[in-house]
Amino acid sequence: MKKIILGLLVIFSTTTLAGCTTNSTQTTASSTKETTAISSSQEKQVTVNVILTVAGEEKKSETLTANEGANLLDTLKSNFTIEETDGFITSIDGDAQDEAAGKYWLFTINDEMSQVGAAEVILKEGDTIHFTLDKI
C-alpha cells in the first residue's frame, strides 16, 4: 500500500511541477515580447534643423525628428521629395541641380562643408544641415 501511495505522490508531484514550468515559460516569453515592443516604441529620437537655400534665397527651414543612428539621406526622403543618382542628391522638392549651368546641391553640417555624402552622415541631436543649390 505504501508503494502505491508513494507512486501516486511521485506522479502527482511530477505533473504539478511540469504544469508550473510550462506556465512560467509562457509567462516569460510573453513578458519578453511586451518588453521588446515597449523598447521599440521608445527608441531614442534626435532633432535636427534642415535649411534649404536656392539661388541665395532661403526656401525652407524645418525641424525634423529621426531615430538615433538614422542617416541624413533616409531622413530627407521621409520628409522631402528627393531625387538622387548614385547617392548624390540631384533634386529636393522639385529644385533640381543643373549641370549645364554649373548648379549643384551642396550641404554643410553645423557650418562645416560635408566631406561625405548624405547617406553616410549619421544625424546627431541638434545638428543644423544647410543645403544650398547654387552655381559652383
Distance CA 54, CA 125 (A): 25
Decide if 111 contacts 104 (C-beta within 8 A). Answer: no
Q: State residue 41's pLDDT score.
A: 54
Domain boundaries, the chain: 1-42, 45-135
Bridge-based pairing state of the strands 45-54 and 128-135: parallel
Cβ-based burial of 92 (10 A; exposed 0-12, middle 13-18, buried ≥19): buried
Q: 39-59 in b/e burial notation, b at 16+ Cβ within 10 A? A: eeeeeeebebebbbbbeeeee
Model confidence, pTM: 0.68
Query: What pLDDT, in 10s, does the model give residues 62-102?
Result: 999 999 999 999 999 999 999 998 878 999 999 999 999 99
Instruction: Tell me which of 3.40.50.300, 2.170.130.30, 3.20.20.10, 3.30.565.10 is the CATH number of domain 45-135.
Output: 2.170.130.30
* Cell representation of residue 8: 501516486
Query: What pLDDT, in 10s, does the model give residues 38-47?
Result: 445 568 999 9
